[in-house]
Amino acid sequence: MPSQPKVVVTRPIHEAGLKMLQSRYAVTVHADTIMTPTQLRTFVKGADAVVTLLTDAVDDTMMEAAGSQLKVIAQYAVGFDNIDLEAAKQRGIIVCNTPGAISAPAVAEHAVTLMFATARHLLPADTFMRHGRYKHWDPNLFLGRDLVGKTVGILGSGQIGSQFARICHNGLRMRVLYYDICRNEAIEKDLGATKVSLEQLLVTSDVVSIHLPLNRETRHLLGKEEFRLMKPTAVLINTGRGPIINENALVKALADKELYAAGLDVFEFEPELAAGLAKLENVVVTPHIGSATELTRQGMAESVARNIHAVLSGETPTNVVSK
């Protein structure tokens, strides 16, 4: 009997996907720790398929160490900025991700959570209560920003950005501006969204939310100059990738009140925060949990298993990033 193809998973993912893989392949799941590049190279040796996470450095040396039988790298995320796509292409390895459509509801809801939390001082107000500082109703206590009818600007109008814009428009009657390389006719038609330049979006929006992939063009897209363009009453949300923001410049802009507040789920130096960020009251930070709902992670794991199965069966997977 021919031996089963070997699938290695760099950290435990949702069991729904693992079960699908285990029913067909010889699956090895690494412990829930981040491997060093050396450990990763040893772990992937002999694999036909590797399931990777955004915490893995998937470079040419890893692919070399895996061996020439490696056919597919299936990323358990929408983003794939940790993977050297060029190296994979050179080696004929297919790279897949999980579809934005699966993560969009959860990530968009988290972006909305951060928007409300920052606009209404949720965390300082909660701390105030817990410390017994609420003595009497105060007409000036924790005055925040209104959102209904305001302008929201999304950077990136893919599945997640569009879903966030839909919630803002349909739930809060917000006007939608978007910045993207492509036109998004669906949100123009459904939400009356307008495609604008980055500058126009930053100058006009009351809420700016980042939903772009991280690449050479988007790294440090927002820094000192861009924060100066934004309204001092504006809220900035990032559930995309940390390095799209120059985080040190953001700390300064928030401390100098050039921006009203920021809600961040991703960080430039993840898992570290830029110096001074955690001390600011006008910031809400969460540990990269945008897509962390049971259903979403289940869907992501199943999609990873389907992608691997397609490649190992000689078919084309639905979520190819590069081949």
Give Cα 101 to chain centroid, integer Å.
13
Piece of 58-66, 76-84, 184-192, 304-312 that binds ligand DGY (CB under 6 A): 76-84
Q: Clarify whether 86 is annotated catalytic.
A: no
Say how far apart CA 96 and CA 75 lie, in whole Å.
6
**What DSSP element (H or E) covers 255?**
helix 247-255
* Cβ–Cβ < 8 Å for 165, 152: yes
Nearer to ligand DGY, 48 or 302 (CB): 302
Q: Least CB distance from residue 77 to ligand DGY, whole Å? A: 3
Measure the CA–CA gap between 281 and 118, rounded to whole angstroms: 10
**Whose Cβ is closer to ligand DGY: residue 13's or residue 177's?**
13
Cβ-based nearer residue to ligand DGY, 149 or 287: 287
Decide if 120 is catalytic: no
Active site residue 121: no
78 binds ligand DGY (CB under 6 A): yes
288, 297, 306, 309: which is the annotated catalytic residue?
288
Which amino acid is present at 134? Y
> Residues binding ligand DGY: what is the number (CB under 6 A)?
6
Alpha-helical segments (H) within 72-214: 85-90, 100-119, 122-130, 159-172, 185-191, 198-204
Q: Which is nearer to ligand DGY, 98 or 204 (CB)?
A: 98
Which of 118, 159, 163, 291 binds ligand DGY (CB under 6 A)? It is: 291
Give min distance, CB of 103 to ligand DGY, in A.
Answer: 5
Minimum Å distance from CB 247 to ligand DGY?
17
Cα→Cα distances 221→80, 217, 244, 296, 311, Å:
18, 7, 5, 28, 35
Q: Which stretch binds ligand DGY (CB under 6 A): 37-45, 73-81, 172-180, 313-321?
A: 73-81
In the complex, least distance from residue 196 CB atom to ligand DGY, rounded to whole angstroms: 25
Among 5, 17, 79, 243, binds ligand DGY (CB under 6 A): 79
Tokens of 54: 């955004």
CA distances from 244 to 4, 66, 107, 221 (A): 41, 31, 17, 5
Which of 20, 50, 77, 95: binder of ligand DGY (CB under 6 A)? 77
- The answer to whether 103 contacts ligand DGY (rule: CB under 6 A) is yes
User: End-to-end distance of the chain based on CA atoms, in angstroms?
Assistant: 30
Burial 182-199 (b: 16+ CB within 10 A, else e): eebeebeeebebbbbeee
The residue among 110 and 175 lying less far from ligand DGY, judged by its C-beta, is 110
* 75 versus 151: smaller Cβ distance to ligand DGY: 75
**To which H or E segment does residue 37 belong?**
helix 37-44
Nearest to 251 by CA among 242, 287, 205, 54: 242
Stretch that binds ligand DGY, among 20-28, 74-82, 141-149, 244-252 (CB under 6 A): 74-82
Residues that bind ligand DGY (CB under 6 A): 54, 77-79, 103, 291
Question: Which of the residues are catalytic?
Answer: 241, 270, 288
